[in-house]
Amino acid sequence: MRELAEWLQGTPFSVTIQSVSWVVPLLQSIHIVTIGVVFVSSFMIALRVLGRIRTDEPFAAVWRQFSPWLWGGLCVMAVTGGLLVVGEPVREATSLSFWLKMALLVIAVAGTALFGRSLAAAARVELPSGAKGAAIALLVLWIAIIFLGRAIAYDVEVWGRLSLSA
């Protein structure tokens, strides 16, 4: 993996991302702003499941309103995050935080898709208790992903010898 990352880091595309001064700050800024879109959309969907907001409406109405922002935000984060990986592949490939974040991201995206599909058909206002537990678990996953995203820059400090760059 490290060899592949070192090869990628030497490619003209990666060198351009690394050397043009405004590219990485712009990508990071868009990435950070979009965290807000993704997290707030997930939060609003969870609040509806927990019966805290818009309980006079079926879940499907809230899902229809917020899920496009959630999926759209994730697409923007995949593009900006992917370009950040191309710009600093060795840093990301040797970061335990990065790989944990990617693993949790797969679970969060699959969980959210399953969640939406299984509940969107639910015409009932009151949702099953299992759904409430799942909504809280998904929120905890997104918060863990945010912390891991930030921890990438401090991988050795956070994980010590567990860090892949140690």
**For ligand HEM, the closer CB: 60 or 102:** 102
SS3 57: coil
Site string for ligand HEM, 104-143 (x = CB under 6 A): -x------------------------------------x-
Per-residue burial over 2-41, b = 16 or more CB atoms within 10 Å of its CB, e = otherwise: eeebeebbeeeebeebeeeeeebeebeeebeebbebbbeb
Tokens of 101: 């974040």
Least distance between ligand HEM and beta carbon 108 (Å): 7
Least distance between ligand HEM and beta carbon 45 (Å): 14
Pick out residues in 63-82 that bind ligand HEM (CB under 6 A).
74, 77-78, 81-82
The candidate with the shortest Cα–Cα distance to 80, out of 39, 123, 33, is 33
Piece of 12-20, 46-54, 61-69, 88-96 that binds ligand HEM (CB under 6 A): 88-96
